Amino acid sequence: MSGHSKWSTIKHKKAAQDAKRGKAFDRLNKEIMVAARVGGADPDSNPRLRTAIAKARQLNMPSDNIKRAIQKGLGELPGQQIEEVTYEGYGPAGVAVFVEAMTDNKNRTVGEIRHVFSKHGGNLAASGSVSYLFRRRGMFVIEQGDEEAILAATLDAGVEDVYSEDGNVVVLCDVSSFSDVEDALAKANIKTTVAELSMIPTTKVELEESDARKVLRLIEALEENEDVQNVYANFEMSDAVLAAVG
């Protein structure tokens, strides 16, 4: 999985910047609304909602905002009808890009996403074109953790992979095991810096510096769209390239 957690590091640094501009709050509001609508209002039985609420609290979102988002998702308060949509495409160097969005106007959003791909040397493709290159999995990142201790703590919970990268320990599991692994880490008093359901690439494209810059510009432009929740891509970079573009 070399390269994925490096990209996660870049992505989560950007998430901190987004929070300052209020974008993170807007995205989490949508995620909480949809998670509540799809899986119900009880975080204990709705892992997606539980994860969204945890992220919201990490960003100090007021409890009243979280409560209102849940109520809007359940239809208890008036609000926009938000739909989940995904887009698939290719970026520079043939990098596969998978975009998750939430919108109240699919026609507007698809036009904007297509324009971003075209402007940055990519193209929007048909549904199913790149999704097969990714697998949805639970992902946890622990800073400066002990790999063996983390594996021991999560083995019975259904963990699939534990490895070290760039001073962090990355834990991967099946979506169905996410809550169990999360609980096992908490029980062992192991704190995570990332805990999310992610699209993990099954094959990756190694990028040189020039293509890496182009791909990152495409991803950054996609993430600037107000309807985009997450962007995943199947690229990796060497440490030298990462240092040059980071």
Task: Determine contact, residues 151/162, Cβ cutoff 8 Å.
Answer: yes
Pick from 225, 229, 245, 215: which is nearest to 91 by CA? 215
Q: Are the C-beta atoms of residues 56 and 68 closer than 8 Å to each other?
A: no
User: Pairing mode, if any, of strands 168-174 and 205-207?
Assistant: unpaired
Residues in a beta bridge with 141: 170, 194
Widest pairwise Cα distance in the chain? 52
What pLDDT is recorded for position 158?
A: 94
Calpha distance 244→109 (Å, rounded):
33
Identify the CA nearest to 30 among candidates 100, 129, 94: 100
**Number of Cβ within a 10 Å radius of residue 45:** 11
Token digits of residue 170: 């990355």
Check residue 4 and give its pLDDT: 46
Q: Single out the residue of 182, 187, 179 nearest to residue 46, CA to CA.
A: 179
**Residue 168 — φ and ψ, nearest 5°?**
-110, 160
Per-residue confidence (pLDDT) for residue 119, from 0 to 100: 97
How do strand 205-207 and strand 235-237 relate by DSSP bridges?
parallel
pLDDT tens figures, 209-225 = 999 999 999 999 999 89
Q: Is the pTM of this model over 0.75?
A: yes
Q: Is residue 7 within 8 Å of residue 238, measured between CB atoms?
A: no
pLDDT of res. 177: 93
Three-state secondary-structure class, residue 100: strand
Q: At a CB cut-off of 8 Å and minimum separation 6, what does 192 contact?
A: 140, 141, 142, 182, 185
What confidence tens digit (pLDDT) does each residue in 44-98 have? 889 889 989 998 998 889 999 999 999 999 999 887 789 999 999 999 999 999 9
CA separation for the pair 181, 50 (Å, rounded)? 13
**In tens digits, what is the pLDDT along the chain, a chain of 246 residues?**
334 445 454 554 555 555 555 778 888 999 999 999 999 999 988 988 998 999 899 888 999 999 999 999 999 988 778 999 999 999 999 999 999 999 999 999 999 999 999 999 999 999 999 999 999 999 999 988 899 999 999 999 999 999 988 788 999 999 999 989 999 999 999 999 888 889 999 999 999 999 999 999 999 999 989 999 999 999 988 888 888 887
The domains found in the chain, sorted by start residue, are 4-74 (1.10.10.200), 83-132+203-245 (3.30.70.980), 134-201 (3.30.70.980)
Instruction: Give the Cα separation of 195 and 198 in Å (integer).
Output: 9
Token pair belonging to 239: 């440490």
How far is it, in rounded angstroms, from Cα 132 to Cα 141? 24
Q: In angstroms, what is the C-alpha Rg of the chain?
A: 18
pLDDT at residue number 20: 53
